[in-house]
Structure 1
């Protein structure tokens, strides 16, 4: 029997508002806390958790950025002649995404989403590496770099596999006593919330499902480890989308030319603009000021939430929708979905969660990047314990 196992389990989109009145993990991890997320999507949140740094430090923020000089997607522009009725279909995009990811050698999460092929040559993709692997950050190290450096044996989720397989592999590593540290990432709740919203009776059932899985993990771990440190957490919450906004149609009334006068990425809750000719910014700002469903974020606020980039690589102007407003159609999808995240970090449904089986979590652990502290402490403790063990003859 080994001495200690550190279990870190991330449940994507398990927001505070979703679980605060649910008896989730009440017996296994009774110490619960609301955490402030970071401004952005999972593309921002997960790297922030894994590195302990903020978006302006690790530069894993939004996926698509205007960068025609280095765009890897130029060959895809030939597909612009295909009918939109075909190229906007999700199944077509899914197969193309798999082909392009393999061809370009991208190792992180990748999706072509709904970027029009006539404009795709204008954009680059920012997550070419996987934050769930060593040397996987755009800038700086992550927790897996530390695990490798300290030679602490660990388990980490392979996102390409289904959740049930994640559970099986983790249980196998625990039974073999191979690992001292585990980072499990379950994304099924996120997908379910997008489909049915956070008021659906399917959500408590999914939480009960995870509760049973974690109970199984803990029951197995107790047979092989004397001490188990359990931390279950999320990256953000999820807001129901009861209002739809065609922001692209409003911008199109200006008569500006995409790729000549300006460039824009319409995310699900944000619009990020680059201005290519004088006077264009003023026209866009004037129009956006008439759109009550959201607002332009000033530099001071972006700096406060650590998403201001001096090179403006992710956008020269950031417009953010009000919580519950979905930009549709957008470059993320042509059709509405029931719920979305990526709103302001202090909107009610944006808050994340932390559940622990110990009451020793520091009081100043208040934001999701702080979870890295718990992981770092665990890794260093395991490394110290291993170094103090007598060498085997």
Structure 2
């Protein structure tokens, strides 16, 4: 039996009612809310390893590094965005040629800081030591897509020009082939959420994706649909101006290193309405890292706000994620169990479907 795992970026638990076909599967499915991870990364690593963020070590896309591969860009400390875009896309071209993961635009970064900063992940998740290696040992074949690459399990990595429709057509084509497991990461809903918020345009995209899923579905498939995080309307922006140490601004997270006065920075962030992570937060969200590569001090926006300017966005987004305690949804067809699940539990679900390793609910 074929198993299909669709990671529907930013899909919220309460949005299934906007998807007629997916909603019709609820009576035969386990459905509910995923216990959200903290931050922007680590979802795929957690799903396919069964480990928490603090165990596999991948949290944010950018980290502090003494041996940064981006160090060469720090020599070009230019202020012209046009020139920075040239170097940014030059770097993306190099990453495409090397088939590296997480192709990020760098032109909103402070280039002088890149001697200290680097990408935290470079290999595709399906090439790491995780469930995919277990599938190979059991002679199980898989097909994998995570923007911008597809991988057929034979060391052939292909670049794919992205649209939800194009990726689902590619999935449907490969469903005719002899693969046991299919993974696709759909980004369109997230993009619409950032551009338009959670209103009418997002509902249109949900209905479009609903039809794309209906078009590939068969009763004898194991189908898993999972949202990686939520999406919330942006109601205010926060201008983080702190001249102390090294600062990196994600869209909703401010991270700091080399601080002279950690307490002063903490008070400034709290005055801006941000939540500064304390010891109990690192413990609760399982992000007790072995070192400070992701930040000595970390502040997070409250829902409905975003940092602007930041290191990623050209404009203020209408919708945003990356908050504490979001509400991503999940649906596991032909399955029973509680309406709550953790991201690491999908590893066990997949082992049961693909390797016949029976697990309890």
Pair 1:57-2:55 in alignment: yes
Aligned 1:261-276 pairs, distance under 5 A: 262-275=245-258
Distance (Å, rounded) in 1 between the aligned partners of 2:171 and 2:19: 26
Q: Cα offset for 1:158? A: 4.8
User: 1:110 touches 1:127 (CA, 8 Å); kept in 2?
Assistant: no
Pair 1:296-2:262 in alignment: no
Distance 1:361 1:146, change over 3 A: farther
Q: Cα offset for 1:95? A: 2.2
Distance (Å, rounded) in 1 between the aligned partners of 2:165 and 2:135: 25
Q: Cα offset for 1:100? A: 4.0
Task: Count matched residues.
Answer: 342
Distance (Å, rounded) in 2 between the aligned partners of 1:297 and 1:9: 31
Per-residue CA deviations over 1:138-159 (Å, capped at 9, x if unaligned) read: xxx3222222122111221152
Distance (Å, rounded) in 2 between the aligned partners of 1:287 and 1:36: 30
> 2:93 corresponds to which residue?
99
Distance (Å, rounded) in 2 between the aligned partners of 1:373 and 1:312: 30
Distance (Å, rounded) in 2 between the aligned partners of 1:181 and 1:128: 23
Q: CA RMSD in A?
A: 2.3
**What are structure 2's unaligned runs of at least 5 residues?**
149-159
Per-residue CA deviations over 1:175-220 (Å, capped at 9, x if unaligned) read: 23x1122112211111111111112x121221111111111111xx
Distance (Å, rounded) in 2 between the aligned partners of 1:77 and 1:187: 31
Q: Cα offset for 1:116? A: 1.2
Pair 1:11-2:8 in alignment: yes
Match of 1:111 among 104, 115, 138: 104
Q: Give the TM-score, by structure 1 length.
A: 0.80
From the CA coordinates, give the structure whose radius of gyration is larger.
1
Distance (Å, rounded) in 1 between the aligned partners of 2:42 and 2:324: 13
> 2:151 corresponds to which residue?
none
Distance 1:27 1:285, change over 3 A: closer
Partner secondary structure for residue 332 of structure 1: coil
Distance 1:145 1:322, change over 3 A: same
Deviation >6 Å, runs of 4+: none
Aligned 1:1-393 pairs, distance under 5 A: 4-20=1-17, 23=20, 25-30=22-27, 31=29, 32-41=31-40, 43-67=41-65, 69-81=66-78, 83-87=79-83, 92=86, 95-102=89-96, 105=98, 107-113=100-106, 114-131=108-125, 133-135=126-128, 141-160=129-148, 161=160, 162=162, 163-176=164-177, 178-199=178-199, 201-218=200-217, 221=218, 227-247=220-240, 249=241, 251-252=242-243, 256=244, 262-275=245-258, 279-291=260-272, 293-345=273-325, 350-358=326-334, 360-363=335-338, 366-381=341-356
**What are structure 1's unaligned runs of at least 5 residues?**
136-140, 257-261, 383-393
Distance (Å, rounded) in 2 between the aligned partners of 1:34 and 1:20: 14
Distance 1:7 1:102, change over 3 A: closer
Per-residue CA deviations over 1:349-369 (Å, capped at 9, x if unaligned) read: x211112322x3332852222
User: 1:156 touches 1:183 (CA, 8 Å); kept in 2?
Assistant: yes
User: 1:328 touches 1:334 (CA, 8 Å); kept in 2?
Assistant: no
User: 2:9 touches 2:189 (CA, 8 Å); kept in 1?
Assistant: yes
Q: Cα offset for 1:20? A: 4.9
